[in-house]
Amino acid sequence: MEVSELDKYGICDGISEIIVTCGIENPNAAPIGLIRKDNRIFIRLYKGSTTYENVKLEKIFAANVTCDPLLFVKSTFSNLEDENFKYHPLNSQNIPLLKNSVSSVIFRCEEIKHTEQAMTAEIIPIYAVANYHRPKAINRGLTAVIEAAIHATRYELTGIDKFLDLIDQCLETTYKCGGQREKDAAEILLNEIGEIKKLVSGGKDTE
């Protein structure tokens, strides 16, 4: 399968925000940005995550395209329930996919490079499926809640308060422009941030 064919499955030039599914024995899902440039595509995974460990071991994963804000937020902070997964047989293995994704592409990792903090790999598409296509206009509430989730992970890692201000700005847009699912995702995200704040404050108190 050629990289140029990925346009048909929603993975285009630049950074595509998708949900990775991996873990043949114990499926895991997490939002990741796939980097596509000059007809090549890459992934960068940071140490300490289940996704990192699964991809490092198995060197195969699926990229799932979805516009569901709840899936993005839930998979950012916890694993999805088993009912969200389906499986595609490949070389005597069952690769986990998101059941309700717009499309799914299975990638194989090549040219893997490791640093102290992360793993970077060029990835090769080996199978793709478009599950359905229903046109949907860009909604600023969706993009804002995804951006807020990214800032939340950065706050969790660093404890830097500027990310809280960025989250507030993003969620203001979500509540203004989003539909009910975007607003539900924002509520879940706010609950998660509340728990993260307790951990960050606890860490600061013990310094």
Each residue of 47-77: pLDDT tens digit? 888 999 999 999 999 999 999 999 999 999 8
Nearest in space to 182 (alpha carbons), one of 153, 140, 136: 140
Pick 31 or 200 by higher pLDDT: 31
| pLDDT score of 92 more than 80 | yes
| pLDDT score of 93 more than 90 | no
Q: How far apart are CA 95 and CA 44, in angstroms?
A: 20
| pLDDT score of 206 more than 80 | no
Pick 137 or 98 by higher pLDDT: 98
| pLDDT score of 207 more than 50 | no
Q: Mean pLDDT across the chain, nearest whole number?
A: 91
Q: How confident is the model at residue 119 (pLDDT cuts 50, 70, 90)?
A: very high
Hey, what domains does the chain have and what are their CATH numbers?
3-130 (2.30.110.10), 140-205 (1.20.58.290)
Give me the pLDDT at residue 132, please: 76
- Please give the C-alpha separations between residue 84 and each of 52, 74, 133, 182, 184, in angstroms, as whole numbers: 20, 11, 19, 19, 18
